[in-house]
Structures are given as C-alpha cells and as structure tokens.
C-alpha cells in the first residue's frame, strides 16, 4: 500500500563528533520505534530528532544522548499508554488484526534502553500521533581514542540470514555486522534460494517457520544442489529439532533467542575453516547414505572431503 508520508530527520549540530556507547542496542531501539511509526502512520510525517545534554562527572565528560521518534499516526488511547511496554501488548485486539506484529518491539526497546542506563517514554493522542523518546548516557571521546572493539580480530565474509521475524533478523544482522561480516537477508524461502545462487554466501542462517516454504524444504534443496551443497547452514529456530537439522545436512543448530557471543563464535569458526585450503578430511564408511550425510555435513563446514566406501582404497 502506497503512503503519503514525509520523513524528517533533525540532528543537533552541537553534538560531539565522537562518543562511545552501544551502537547495536541504540540502532535496535531506534529501528523498533521507526518500524512502529511507519506501520501506524498512513499519511503525514515520521520525524526523528537527535540531541544531547552535557553531563559532568569524575570519569570525564559525557552526554545524555536523546532520541525521539514522532509521527502523525493513529495514536494511542490515554488509558493504554501504561500498558504498551508490556510483552505481547498492543493498543487493542483490532490493532493487532489490522497491522500485525507480535507486541514485543516496545518491550525489547525498553529492556535495551534500561540495559544502557537510560529510559524510554511516550506521549500520544488518538488521531493526532505519538512521540517516543529514549535517552542513553554516552562518553565523549577524542578522535584519537580507538574503541577496543575495533582492534579485535574481525570477521570477514558474507552471511545470508533467512528469517521472517523482523526483530530477530535485525538482531542477528547487528551482531554480525559489528563483528565485521556483510549480511544480506530475506524472509522469503523462494527468494532465499535465488539469493544463494547470486551472492554465494559463506554461511547461511536459516529459520524454519517461513511464510512461503518451510526451512526444511530449503535445507533439503540446498544440500541436494551441486552449486550450494558446500555452503554451511546453521538452523536457528525455537523448534527443538536439532537432530532433524543435522540429519538434513546442517552444520550447527542455534536455539532462539540468539546469544551474540555464541552466534559470532560459531560463524567465525565456519568462515575461518572455509578460508583454509589446506584442511582435508578422509571419510570412510561402507554405508552410502551415511557417507553422503558425512560429506554434506563436513564439506558444508568448509573442509575438503575425500570419500571412500572401502578402507583399503583410502
């Protein structure tokens, strides 16, 4: 549906050029608020304002970084304002039916803001619009200060994320981009199969519950395709289907909610192994189906495999 919505961005020009905070969490909160504003605004505007207030303390200069996202959308009834930050809550049932969504975006936003030492609030009037504001304390840095994260070993490679939940997809993308990876994503299984052939990703992260075709069918097609069977696939799902994932050729299984350290560590192990041209593994098994499974799994993890049914030929 086409919308006549103006996007406005106002940035305080007195903000310092460099400050140290948590860009992943800030980006996630801002994204959640912008998605809500766009979803509930059919015409008018969506406006982002960023400003800061200086804070003096013994540890050096800091600023209270303040973000606000305003819109001219449907608004929120006054008696619902105290409820919208609770999990699985929207203004009313008709809102969920008409606009969709899980009702978790604002709950996650409040939790992330509080983890950063800030707070989030809302002002709204029905049929006029809403304004969400959150603040985050950040430390002012000079241009010469290097963030510790920048001097750590960063990852390289392309990761395809196949995930239909927007919040989960953004979290995974933020985690991996912060670690140095290039992330492409889609929520459609059929589109994913095309993207694999075009982009040739180093790793694929695959959800199972997709809107068009399920993840098991995608995994099966990937592992049967000559051009795609070598690409390691990590199944990421709320379903307790680890054994099934491995049996179909996945190299790893990660349960939701996704843990940043676990995700980055496992992706890094896979991409590093794929960059090594010296790693060869000999597979010997007299059962052809078992041998084929091992070839898909080990080869998918980036190793060169040599398959033998008879041990003496190995």
Is 49 part of any domain?
A: yes
Per-residue tokens: 279:
């790693």
129, 251: one domain: no
Percentage of the chain with pLDDT > 70?
A: 75
Q: How many CA atoms lie within 13 A of 108 on its CB side?
A: 21
81, 106: one domain: yes
Concatenating the DSSP letter of every residue in 156-191 gives -SEEEEE-S-HHHHHHHHHHHHHTT-EEEEES-HHH
Single pTM value for the model: 0.46
Structure confidence at residue 155 as a pLDDT band (50, 70, 90): low
131, 16: one domain: yes
182-240 pLDDT, tens per residue? 899 998 888 899 889 888 899 999 999 998 899 999 999 999 888 888 899 999 998 88
Structure confidence at residue 145 as a pLDDT band (50, 70, 90): very low
84, 135: one domain: yes
15, 131: one domain: yes
Task: Report the pLDDT averaged over residues 152-180.
Answer: 84
Percentage of the chain with pLDDT > 90?
A: 31
130, 193: one domain: no
Summary mean pLDDT of the chain: 80
189, 219: one domain: yes
Backbone φ, ψ for residue 129 (5° rounding): 140, -175
Q: How many domains does the chain have?
A: 2
Helix (H, G, I), strand (E, B) or coil at 205: strand
Is 100 part of any domain?
A: yes
Residue 239 CB coordination number (10 Å): 16
Whether the per-residue pLDDT at 245 is higher than 70: the answer is yes
Q: Residues 6 or more apart from 248 whose CB is under 8 A from it?
A: 216, 219, 220, 223
Whether the per-residue pLDDT at 160 is higher than 70: the answer is yes
Q: Residues 6 or more apart from 200 whose CB is under 8 A from it?
A: 158, 231
- The whole-number pLDDT of residue 302 equals 52
285 dihedral zone (left: phi>0; alpha: psi -120 to 50; beta): beta
Per-residue tokens: 131:
């304004």
- The whole-number pLDDT of residue 208 equals 93
Is 247 part of any domain?
A: yes
Q: What is the CATH number of the domain that holds 111?
A: 3.30.565.10
Q: Domain of 31?
A: 4-140
Is 305 part of any domain?
A: no
17, 60: one domain: yes
Is 111 part of any domain?
A: yes
- The residue from 140, 172, 195 where one domain ends is 140
- Which is higher by pLDDT, 271 or 50? 50
- The whole-number pLDDT of residue 106 equals 85
Whether the per-residue pLDDT at 25 is higher than 80: the answer is yes
Residue 11 CB coordination number (10 Å): 10
Rounded to whole angstroms, the Cα distance separating 43 from 5 reads: 5
Is 146 part of any domain?
A: no
103, 125: one domain: yes
């Amino acid at each position: 549906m086409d919308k006549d919505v103006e996007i406005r961005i106002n940035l305080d020009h007195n903000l310092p050029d460099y400050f140290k905070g948590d860009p992943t969490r800030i980006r996630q909160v801002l994204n959640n608020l912008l998605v809500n504003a766009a979803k509930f605004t059919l015409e008018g505007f969506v406006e982002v304002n960023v400003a800061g207030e200086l804070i003096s303390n013994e540890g050096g200069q800091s600023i209270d970084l303040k973000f606000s996202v305003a819109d001219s959308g449907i608004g929120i009834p006054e008696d619902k304002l105290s409820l919208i930050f609770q999990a699985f809550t929207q203004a009313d049932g008709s809102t969920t039916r008409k606009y969709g969504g899980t009702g978790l975006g604002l709950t996650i936003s409040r939790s992330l803001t509080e983890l950063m030492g800030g707070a989030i609030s809302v002002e709204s009037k029905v049929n006029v619009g809403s304004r969400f504001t959150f603040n985050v304390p950040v430390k002012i840095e000079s241009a010469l200060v290097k963030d510790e994260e920048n001097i750590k070993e960063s990852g390289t490679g392309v990761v395809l994320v196949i995930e239909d939940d927007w919040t989960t997809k953004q979290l995974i993308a933020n985690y991996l981009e912060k670690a140095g990876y290039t992330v492409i994503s889609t929520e459609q299984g059929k589109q994913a199969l095309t993207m694999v052939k075009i982009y040739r990703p180093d790793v694929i992260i695959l959800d199972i519950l997709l809107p068009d075709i399920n993840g098991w069918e995608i995994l099966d097609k990937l592992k049967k395709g000559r051009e795609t069977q070598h690409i390691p696939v990590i199944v990421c799902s709320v379903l307790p289907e680890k054994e099934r994932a491995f049996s179909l050729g996945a190299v790893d299984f990660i349960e939701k909610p996704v843990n940043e350290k676990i995700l980055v560590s496992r992706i890094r192990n896979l991409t590093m192994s794929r960059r090594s041209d010296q790693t060869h593994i000999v597979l010997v098994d007299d059962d052809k189906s078992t041998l084929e499974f091992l070839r898909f799994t080990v080869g998918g993890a980036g190793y060169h495999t040599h398959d033998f049914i008879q041990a003496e030929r190995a």
